[in-house]
Structure 1
Amino acid sequence: MPPARRLLLAAAFLLGIPAAILAIASLPWHGDRPAEAARVTAARRCQGPLSAGAAATTFDLPPGVPIGGFARLRYRSEGVRDPVGARALVLSVGDCRYALASAEILLVPESLEVAVRARLGDVPLDGLLVGATHTHSGPGGYWDHVFGEHIATGPFDPALRDRIAGGIAQAIRAAAAASGPARLSVGEGRAETLAYNRTEGPVEARLTVVRIDRPDGAPVSELAIFAAHPTTLGRANLLISGDWPGRYLAATGHGVRLFFQGALGDQAATPVNGPEGTPTDRYGDAFARAVDGLAYSAPDPAPAVAFATADVPLPAPDPGAVPPLLRRAASNASWETMPARAEVEALRLGGLVLVAVPGEPVSEIGEGWRRAAGPGAQIVSLVNGYVGYVETPRMIAADRGETPRTYYGPSLAARLEPAVAAAAAAVRAEPPAHPPDGAAGRGRTPAAAGRR
């Protein structure tokens, strides 16, 4: 056989091996996950005067803790710019008790939420929302995920996960212990100058704030919801920090402040210019001024309070960052590592309904979900799990916008929307609703489920 022909055959053989491997990896090893009607797995509402308590803790972190937020070649942090931790608000009405916790981390994988619940067996709760401020300079190392460790939070360390879960649980326990008579008021508006859309969609700009005070007016807590990525410190930063939400949270005189992200998938923080302070501090201060400038409703000592959870199956994984030729293989590879189902929670506070979702919806999706949830609804992102970005099918088809950051493809928004609507409807139900028999869901700690 001529040498040239032998060379061609050898090249064909060598090229054929990866082609064959790709072909095998791309076989339909898994079917799709068919859509189902949203299932309300927990719903409870109680009547009576409001009691509330709030508390904050600082995470106990070792030197050199991984820094989470950006894909980096090196995740080891080089110090602390400002301390980070968790803040909690516990609301009680009648024999119902609900907790909200805001942690200065990138995201809350379901495993972290489970670890928090495991530490609250002595604190009966009828509902729990654990959310992330989404700082891109917070501690990492808490996500045991083959992909997430390499593109977001750094190498997994169970001891770090336990420290962060313990700090969140400690804040919730202290908040429950600080409970006392309280009143609730709500402020809503827009902060157009503080955010912009980093791709092609509309600016979210919605600002919602819940204030809790004592009957004599003493502040207990302030819970703010706004959509803007906390990335003002940038990828080069290796100092642990809460970024701009940390600046807002650290201010005194407003009780214990909590911060949750709105529909933030495509929302970025508009730089705030000024002669003093860092860009991070200037933005945090400008956000605090926007919060203070809202008009608030009259304090209500007995608002309607309810909590509900709805469950839906997720579609097959379809990573948007992977070239189309490799999508099926990537879906097969990530099938066991990505969640198969998702839960959406809703918390009613008077006329306001907070709908908590485990991902990062873009502003257009957030607007559609608010319509599905009904009047008074506000989307709260990055709570009780993580399913990645939620982009519009139109943008995914065009491979634009936040598509490279999606995990589940164009049908994810449509899968989650029925759960958004069902959870919101459940908290508006009259008379008070109760969990279906045997379906307490994740809306209760074991202790709370046991006392139902």
Structure 2
Amino acid sequence: MSAKRLLSVLTVGLLSLSPAPASATADNSAADGYRVGVGIGDITGEAAEVGMLGYADPGQTTSGIASRQWARAFVVADGAGRHVAFVSAEIDFVTQAVQMEVLKRLQARYGTTYTDQNVVLTATHTHSGPGGFSEYLMWNLTTLGFEAPVFEAIVSGIVRAVGAAHDGLAPGTVKIAEGTLSGANVNRSLPAFQNNPAADRARFPGAVDTRMTVLRFEQGGRPVGLLDFFATHGTSMTPANHLISADNKGYAAHLIEDGVHGVDWAHRGAFVAAFAQTNAGDMSPNLRNGGAQGPTDDEFENTRIIGKLQADRAQQLFESATEELTGPVDARGRYVDFSAVQVAGQYTPDGQAHRTCPGALGQNFTAGAEDGPGPPIVEEGDLSTNPLLLLAGIVVNPTPAEVRACQAPKDVFLGSGSQSPPWTPQIMPLQILRIGQLAITTAPGEFTVVAGQRVRDAVAAELGGVATHQILAGYANAYAGYVTTPEEYDLQHYEGAATHFGRYTGPAYAQELAKLAVALRTGQPTPSAVQPPALPQNRISVRPGVVLDTPPLGKSFGSVVTQPDASYARGATVRADFVTGHPNNNLRNEGTFLEVQRQDGGAWTTVSTDAGWQTTYRWKREYLGVSTAQIAWTVPAGAAPGSYRIVHHGDAKGLTGSIKPFSGATRTFTVTP
């Protein structure tokens, strides 16, 4: 997460303002086959006037939809009845409030089948979605508090996705393929990477992680799902963007689901493709100037380029996947208080025991990253104390001297873990899922490639022969910033300054996840000595919400202000504007704000919606309660010639507070060959 204009956000924000662990099992024998299921749910949040999460810029608020956000779920059950569920959600990160509420609703529906041990919720890390779905102050600053509609959209969509996957369980197989992809990421923190020992650097030629792993899900020999893991940030869309977008990984999913398998909006879920993250902490999709700029000067084109690279390579691996995962399905999880982990010498560079610290963000956190720079107050890697930031941090967020000493060489700006309640989470969820010979290690941070590799090595050393394949899935179940190696931390670039629990954060993750690996291998239970707190008192928002919608004089809701031209060639962009209501009146989850329709005899057939990547829906407040919906559709190269129209669906809030739906349609226009 970037820190652009963090100081102003903090000032405004300050003024405005448990499931039981799964039973252990020692059964490591092969189970009789798998049942597999896939599902998808719409998690699109408020499309207008809500702060976006990722770049920490309070001026970046939603004003429409470039693509809807989705949660995609994959469930595997073995012959002994053990289940694991993996979810990839197109949001910046998962919050503990989301995790806890999803588990609560799943347990109400399925009992003890799904718990905090065997359900993992991960994020693709798009920086172009609405925020406000955490109970921790730091993560809600750009939205000026908690946004209940965004939270509900995410939670209910994830639950629908898992529910669809569970209810659709059928005998099937999971196959795995591994390969590499070059040209879809660069290291945006080279000086920090180069501060690692030569042996670590040698494992990543070019300072990038090119590894890609693809899981192929089949039911009765029929492919039903693809789950891809690859490390690159969700920052192809820039801080200048105001449209909800699933960024490059969302576009990759679209290319597979729609482009390869022909799954349109009406049949979503028939095939599910998810593009999940691994250790993407220092991996940027912006290939120029060390991660500062994308392949081109067009952010939409950059999203398509990086998304297509991932989709094309994933499809190749999907088609070549022949190794079948066999054996037990299992899981281990535990909550750990990362503010005070005693780290053994075997996990530290000097071989000595050390400890983690209460969470804190360094002064260089405000510098931002190359693909999301902050204000020109400090520069990455500057180890001198900035008096302005020191004073600001002392005033708004005092940090005890012992925490400052523990966090050295970080110059603390905000002692986020030293407040009551903390501004960022301290008690973090860790998990390892097993599907036959595959282990999926999960943690709630943005691991750099070397920090991630050290975790993988520590887990692999303890798994023994239990798993021959391992994936590290970051951004899982909660969020606590970055995870760097101690050597990277020492330089205090953005990633190190945003490593919350001090110099030994990475070694602590390696140690605690290695303990879970031992328990998974030996069949021992992993009870948690601590549980994350619920903080309902932090569910406060100062945003007024929608007051009233009014059409301009002589117009009604749904009236067309700008009609399309008479005809368009393929590749051209159709534009139409409508009188509309505020989109936050109804998020239209599992629905749409627009339809592009083709005339088919006497009927109209929908060919695209706001879930498509050929459309954009922009909302604009004209004055007071008057607003317009600006809808654009780029005619695909394969569009059938004929007569078309654009339909807009909206909802308007009246004087009494009642909300009523409306629709409007343009005149017909022709698409020519």
Name the TM tier (shorter chain).
Answer: 0.7 to 0.9
Deviates more, 1:403-412 or 1:167-176: 403-412
Shift of 1:166: 0.8
Amino acid at match of 1:208: T
**Structure 1 residue 299 displacement after superposition:** 5.1
CA distance in 2, matches of 1:274, 1:52: 42
Q: Say whether residues 1:356 and 2:442 are aligned partners.
A: yes
Give the structure 1 partner of residue 232 of structure 2: 228
Structure 1 equivalent of residue 254 of structure 2 = 250
Question: Deviations 1:1-36 (Å, cap 9, x if unpaired)?
Answer: xxxxxxxxxxxxxxxxxxxxxxxxxxxxxxxxxxxx
Q: How does 1:301-340 map to 2 (within 5 A)?
A: 302-315=326-339, 316-321=358-363, 328-329=399-400, 330-331=414-415, 333-334=418-419, 336-337=421-422, 338-340=424-426
Query: Relative to total residues, which structure has the larger strand share, 1 or 2?
Result: 2
Q: Tell me, yes or no, if the aligned pair for 1:212 and 1:222 is still in contact at 8 Å.
A: yes
> What SS does the aligned partner of 1:52 have?
strand
Query: Are residue 139 (structure 1) and residue 130 (structure 2) matched?
Result: yes
CA distance in 2: counterparts of 1:147 and 1:314, whole angstroms: 17
In the TM superposition, what are the counterparts of 1:48-59 in structure 2 within 5 Å? 48-59=32-43
- Structure 1 equivalent of residue 210 of structure 2: 205
Gap change, CA 1:85 and 1:441, over 3 Å in 2: farther
Contact 2:481-2:499 within 8 A present in 1 as well: yes
How far off its partner does 1:146 sit? 1.6
Q: Which has the higher contact order (CA 8 A, sep 6+)?
A: 1
Deviations 1:72-93 (A, max 9, x none): 1324311000111211111111
Does residue 1:388 correspond to 2:481, yes or no? yes
- Residue 90 of structure 1 is matched in structure 2 by 75
Residue 290 of structure 1 corresponds to which residue in structure 2? Answer: 313
The Cα offsets for residues 231-279 of structure 1, whole Å up to 9 and x where unpaired, read as 1110100000100111111232462112221111111113556999722
Map of 1:418 onto structure 2: 511
- Give, in whole Å, the separation in 1 of the partners of 2:298 and 2:477: 39
Q: For residues 95-114 of structure 1, what are the structure 2 equivalents within 5 Å?
A: 95-114=81-100
- Cα drift, residue 163 of structure 1: 2.0
8 Å Cα contact 1:189-1:294 kept in structure 2: yes
Distance 1:82 1:399 in 2: 36
**Inter-CA distance 187–79: structure 2 relative to 1 (3 Å threshold):** same
Q: Give per-residue Cα distances to partners, 1:154-193, cap 9 Å, x unaligned.
A: 6421232122101111111111111101111111122122
Q: What code does the residue aligned with 1:137 have?
A: S
Kindly indicate whether the alpha-carbon contact (under 8 Å) linking 1:41 and 1:310 is maintained by their aligned counterparts in 2.
no
Query: What is the Cα deviation at residue 195 of structure 1?
Result: 1.1
Deviation of 1:41 (Å):
7.8
- SS where residue 244 of structure 1 aligns? helix
- Match 2:454 to one of 350, 368, 386: 368
Deviation at 1:297, TM superposition (A): 4.4
Unaligned runs of 5+ in 1: 1-39, 443-452
Q: Is the 8 A contact 1:88 1:172 kept in 2?
A: yes
Residue 400 to residue 220, structure 1, CA distance change in 2 (3 Å): same
SS at match of 1:168: helix
SS at match of 1:265: coil
Partners of 1:414 and 1:41 in 2: how far apart? Answer: 26
Name the residue aligned to 2:62: 77
CA distance in 2, matches of 1:101, 1:405: 25
TM-score normalized by structure 1?
Answer: 0.80
Coordinate RMSD, CA, aligned: 2.8
Percent sequence identity over matched residues? 26
TM-score, normalising length from structure 2? 0.55
Partner of 2:525: 435
Corresponding residue SS for 1:77: strand
> Compared with structure 1, are the counterparts of its residues 366 and 301 closer, same or farther at alpha carbon in structure 2 (3 Å cutoff)?
closer
Unaligned residue ranges in structure 2 (runs of 5+): 1-20, 194-206, 262-270, 288-293, 340-357, 365-384, 401-413, 461-467, 532-673
Measured against aligned partners, the alpha-carbon deviations of 1:109-161 in whole angstroms (never above 9, x if no partner) come to 1111001112112122251000111001123221232221226x664212321
